Structure 1
C-alpha cells in the first residue's frame, strides 16, 4: 500500500513540475510559483522526520530546486528563440 501511495505522490509531483515548467505564464506567476516552491522546500526541511523518510524528503527538496532551475532555463531558452 505504501508503494502505491508513494508512486501516486511522485506521479502528481512530476505532473506539477512539468506544468510549472512548460505552461506559458507571466513573470508575476513565475515569481509566485518560485516562492511557493522555495517555501515548500523550507517546510519539508523543517518537518524532516529522519530515518527512511529523510531520503524521500531530500528527494522532494532536490526535485523542487531542480524544478526552479529548469523553469529558469526553459524561460530563458523560450525568450530567445527566433520568431
Structure 2
C-alpha cells in the first residue's frame, strides 16, 4: 500500500470508525488517461461501511467521505470511486 492509500485509510478510520474499509489503487487501470501520475496513486476505489452512515442518504455519505479526504482530492488524487454503506 502506498503513502496516499495509507493516508486515505487513516483519515477514513479516524472520521468514521468503519466496520469495513478497503482502499484500492486503481491507477494502473487508467494508464494513458488524464490525471494518472507516474507511480500510481491517482485513482482509488474505497469500499467503506460504518454506523455513522446509517442515517445519511447516499449523496450525504459520499459528501462526508469527500469532506474527510478534501486535502487528497485537491491534490494527488485525481479520481475517487466509492461504495459507502451504513452498517
TM-score normalized by structure 1? 0.30
Higher helix share: 1
Higher strand share: 2
* Structure of higher CA gyration radius: 1
